[in-house]
Every structure is written in C-alpha cells, then in structure tokens.
C-alpha cells in the first residue's frame, strides 16, 4: 500500500513560515492499494490539494472512497472544496460513524448550508453514496477495513486498512482512557488494551500525537494523545512504524524536530526497533509486507454497515448515581441522545430493571463510603449468567482504579470532572456497541457451516403468524421466534422493499437460523 499525507495539522489549519515543513493543512491522507483502489482517510483542508491532483489532466470517471473519522471541522472542512465531488461522471462512497439521530449525510450537509457555503451537498455533480458505520469490518474492493471507536468528545472511528499483505491503521483523534497511560506510564489495560489490540501488528500506525506528556494535564478530556503514549503503544502493540500526526497548531517545525529527535534517541538507548517519525505534508510512504508476521483480519467479524436501529429503539440506560446533581446532568445527556433512562437506588431495583428490560448500559457511581459502585457492579455481574454478552458498566469516579475495576467487572470509566461531550460520546458508543452485540448474538459463530449452505431464496409463502399477514418470509427459515423477530425488525427499517433488500434480509435470517443439531439439543433440553 502507498500512503500520502495531504494534511497533518490538528484542530485548525495553520499555514505560515513556522509550519511550512511539516504542513499547515488539517487531516487528510490518501491510501492506494497495489490494484489502485483509492481510499482517502479524513478530508480536512488537505483535501483541497488532493482533489486538485486527482482532477489534474481532466480526469473523468474517477472512483474513490472517503473514510471520515468524525465530523469535527478539521476532518471535514476540505469536503466542500474537494473538486472530484463536483464533476459529473465521478463516483464516490463516503463512510463515517453512525450517529443516534443524525445520519452522516446530514452531518456533512450541515457545513454546506446556505449560511456557510454557496453550494449544497445535493448539488455536487458526482454520484455519492453515504455509509453509516458501527464497529466491525467491510471491504472496499481489495482493501479490508476494520473500524473501532476511539476516545474523543465526538463519536470517532479509527480505521484499519489491510491489503497487499500489510496493515495501515489510522487513529485520529484519540485520548487514552486511563490518565496514567495518557502520560506514557502505567500498564495498558481495559479499554486501552482494546485500542492496542486494534492497532496490533500494524506495518504503519498513523496516530494522533497532538500533545506531549508534559502538556497533557492541562488538556485532559480534549480527546488527544501524547507523543509518549503513542510511542509506548507502538512498542506494546508490536507496530513496525509509527507516524505522529494531528500536530498541535501551536507547535512549530523546529519543536516537532526536537520532539522526534528526542524520541528516536530514547528508542536507540533502549535498543528498540520501532521506527517513529512525524508526518510531513506531501510525504509518501510505501508500506511493504514484512516476512516476520501476518496481519490478516480475523474471520467472521461483524459487518460495520448493518441496520441496527431496531436493536437501538427500545434500549435504556440504567443509572445508579447517588449524587442528585450528577444524576440530573447525566439524565439530560442521555435524553439528548434519544435514549430512555431508568434510575435505581438499590440492587433489588437494579436486578428487576435488568430482568424486565433490555438495558444497553449501566452507569454507576463509586464514591466510598457514600456510595460503593464496585459492590453494585459485582452484584450485577453475579446476576448475569451469560458471560459472553455482559451488560456494559461505566463507573463514574474521581479516580480510576483499573485493577479493582477489572476484578469487579467494570467495562469503562468516566473520571470526574468530565464534559458533557465526553459523557455523551461514551454513552453513544456503548449504546451502539450494545445494539451491535445484540445483532451479533443472532448471528452464529459457525461461519463455515453457514457459508456452506445453499443461498436462501425469498419467495411468497403462507403467513407464519397472525398479524403479519403481509410480510414475506424466506422459505424454511422461520423456525425460531428469534429469526421471525429479526425479520420483523429488518422489515420495519426498510424504506422500501426491493429484491436486493429481500435477499439481504433472507441472508441475515439464514445466519440467525440454528443448525439442525442445535435445534435437536434445544428440544431435548426443553
Ligand atoms: Zn482533529
Ligand atoms: Zn476531533
């Protein structure tokens, strides 16, 4: 794969003599596979020059894909100035994290409203398709793409691109979950470990490194990494090459030189083979496969583009917060996301709510001796009999305690004080993850058996149940309540029915249908 940097600056474009070498344009990179599949990751102001290059020589019939990490300005401001979107005959697919209310298309159209820009998104001449993504995987021609939520005060996806025997990971913008880990110290555990797994073994890791460990304490909650953390992460996750990017607008070229020289000297001292450098606008990096390791994507992962709205519709968040002011603030944040909130003050109430409803998340407060969130979390875990599909629990506390949290079954932390944007993003990410988990639960692990089955053809069939007379069901798959329910869910979200849609739903249900031996076991158990 070939990677070229078109924008390396974070937060705001910063052109001028002090940033001339590393570049003043905001985030934008171009990735091409050996087969010339074109993927652009983020389209900050660097997207303008990239668009000019792509259209130079009067290129026609251009085909490309844009992956948007999140819709903060510095990652999308190049879109209205990206000329390949305006040329008829061009075809583009734009991908970004799925929200809970607004679609990716609506978010991008917002910055092109009459007040801000003279051309609307709908007036772009190219054919554009929009894709709202969750955590999972999908293919762009020969490139396999995996997505993973980052920690930032807006729902943000990191992208792992695999093709030609190499893996390139882009993780901007991201702040480590643990404040200790963020300064380059402490053990990488919990959600930070999940992040490390996502970047693990990458041939090229392009990572947010806006701050230094020294600057970080004044920037807690801003959603960015320190250089020291990124270097530690690269070593821990056995990455081959780390590119520091999303340079702070206040850091001039000489300061970046000093930072990189420092890091490289320390790595040499420690005899580390990790290659670290800072992204330079215009720089091209050829990523060649390493014979030492494989970076293949795991099989049978969840599709990153999946209709999960039905699984989101009835979800709720359980709040076990004793501090009334904090409870009211969190409640408002959750409601802003369109999610229902349910309060509990003791474990009996919590257990009833968990048993009755299908909460997507529990938020507990830990502030001993006033309230013992750890104890509540342990009680929730004891009640659960399905270890695979545990209720995510966010612990609100003044300090993290990863070891005690892991022992009690805490999934994630919200460390006080936090901003509304941070809380909102965490809640949104967990609600989406829970919905995906529920959808995943109806898709069996036995991919081999499933793929070996003949395709399911959708045809008109007699009604299976009262009240759904007008629904069509794929032949031979209405064998469990679960699949019938799934069918109804999928039908509800269809804006219209087409043969392609019916086939997709048929395939989805085929996956949800248990194999005959499982059905026999279940009958015997009943
Ligand atoms: Zn940014
Ligand atoms: Zn951002």
| Cα of 404 from ligand 1 centre, angstroms | 33
Q: What does the alpha-carbon distance between residue 45 and residue 26 come to, in Å, rounded to a whole number?
A: 5
What is the residue whose two structure tokens read 């940033």? 19
* Residue 441: closest CA among 358, 520, 372: 358
| Cα of 129 from ligand 2 centre, angstroms | 23
| Cα of 71 from ligand 2 centre, angstroms | 7
| Cα of 51 from ligand 2 centre, angstroms | 22
Whether the predicted pLDDT of 161 surpasses 60:
yes
- For residue range 70-126, list pLDDT tens digits in order: 999 999 999 999 999 999 999 999 999 998 778 999 999 999 999 999 999 999 999
Q: What does the alpha-carbon distance between residue 399 and residue 415 come to, in Å, rounded to a whole number?
A: 6
At 492 the pLDDT is: 47
> Is-contact 104 305, C-beta < 8 A?
no
| Cα of 396 from ligand 1 centre, angstroms | 26
- For residue range 353-408, list pLDDT tens digits in order: 888 877 889 999 999 999 999 999 999 999 887 766 789 999 999 998 989 999 99
| Cα of 91 from ligand 1 centre, angstroms | 26
| Cα of 59 from ligand 1 centre, angstroms | 30
| Cα of 73 from ligand 2 centre, angstroms | 8
> Is-contact 121 14, C-beta < 8 A?
no
| Cα of 452 from ligand 2 centre, angstroms | 43
Is 0.85 topped by the overall pTM?
no
Query: CA 95: distance to chain centroid?
Result: 11
Which residues, 6+ apart, have CB-to-CB distance to 494 below 8 Å?
501, 505
């Amino acid at each position: 794969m070939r990677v070229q940097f078109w924008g390396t600056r974070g937060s705001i474009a910063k052109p001028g003599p002090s940033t001339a070498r590393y570049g003043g344009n905001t985030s934008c990179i171009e990735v091409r596979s050996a087969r010339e599949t074109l993927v652009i990751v983020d389209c900050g102001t660097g997207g303008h020059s990239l668009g000019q290059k792509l259209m130079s020589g009067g290129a026609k019939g251009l085909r490309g894909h844009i992956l948007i990490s999140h819709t903060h300005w510095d990652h999308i401001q190049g879109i209205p100035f990206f000329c390949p979107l305006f040329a008829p005959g061009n075809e583009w697919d734009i991908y970004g994290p799925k929200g809970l209310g607004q679609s990716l298309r609506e978010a991008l159209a917002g910055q092109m409203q009459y007040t801000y820009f003279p051309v609307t998104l709908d007036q772009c001449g190219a054919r554009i398709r929009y894709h709202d993504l969750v955590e999972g995987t999908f293919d762009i021609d020969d490139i396999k793409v995996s997505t993973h939520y980052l920690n930032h005060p807006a729902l943000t996806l990191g992208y792992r691109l695999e093709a030609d025997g190499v893996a390139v990971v882009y993780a901007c913008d991201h702040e480590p979950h643990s404040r200790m880990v963020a300064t380059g110290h402490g053990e990488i555990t919990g959600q930070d470990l999940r992040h490390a797994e996502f970047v693990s073994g990458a041939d090229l890791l392009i990572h947010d490194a806006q701050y230094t460990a020294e600057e970080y304490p004044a920037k807690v909650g801003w959603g960015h990494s320190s250089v020291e953390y990124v270097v530690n992460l690269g070593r821990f996750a056995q990455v081959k090459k780390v590119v520091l990017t999303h340079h702070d607008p206040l850091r001039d070229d000489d300061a970046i030189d000093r930072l990189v020289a420092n890091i490289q000297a320390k790595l040499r001292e420690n005899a580390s083979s990790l290659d670290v450098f800072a992204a330079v606008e215009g720089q091209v990096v050829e990523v060649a496969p390493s014979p030492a390791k494989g970076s293949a994507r795991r099989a049978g992962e969840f599709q990153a583009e999946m209709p999960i709205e039905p699984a989101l519709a009835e979800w709720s968040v359980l709040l076990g917060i004793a501090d009334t002011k904090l409870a009211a603030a969190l409640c408002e944040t959750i409601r802003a996301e369109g999610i229902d909130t349910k309060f509990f003050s003791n474990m009996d109430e919590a257990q009833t709510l968990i048993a009755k409803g299908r909460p997507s998340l529990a938020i507990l407060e830990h502030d001993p001796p006033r309230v013992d969130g750890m104890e509540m979390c342990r009680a929730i875990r004891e009640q659960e009999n399905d270890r695979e599909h545990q209720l995510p629990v966010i612990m609100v506390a003044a300090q993290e305690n990863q070891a005690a949290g892991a022992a009690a079954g805490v999934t994630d932390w919200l460390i006080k004080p936090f901003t509304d944007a941070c809380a909102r993003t965490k809640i949104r990410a967990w609600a989406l993850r829970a919905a995906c988990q529920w959808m995943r639960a109806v898709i069996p692990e036995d991919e081999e058996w499933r793929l070996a089955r003949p395709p399911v053809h959708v045809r008109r069939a007699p009604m299976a149940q009262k009240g759904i007379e007008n629904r069509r069901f794929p032949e031979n798959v209405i064998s469990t309540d679960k699949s019938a329910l799934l069918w109804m869910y999928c039908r509800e979200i269809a804006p219209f029915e087409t043969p392609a849609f019916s086939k997709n739903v048929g395939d989805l249900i085929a996956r949800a249908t248990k194999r005959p031996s499982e059905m026999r076991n279940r009958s015997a158990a009943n």
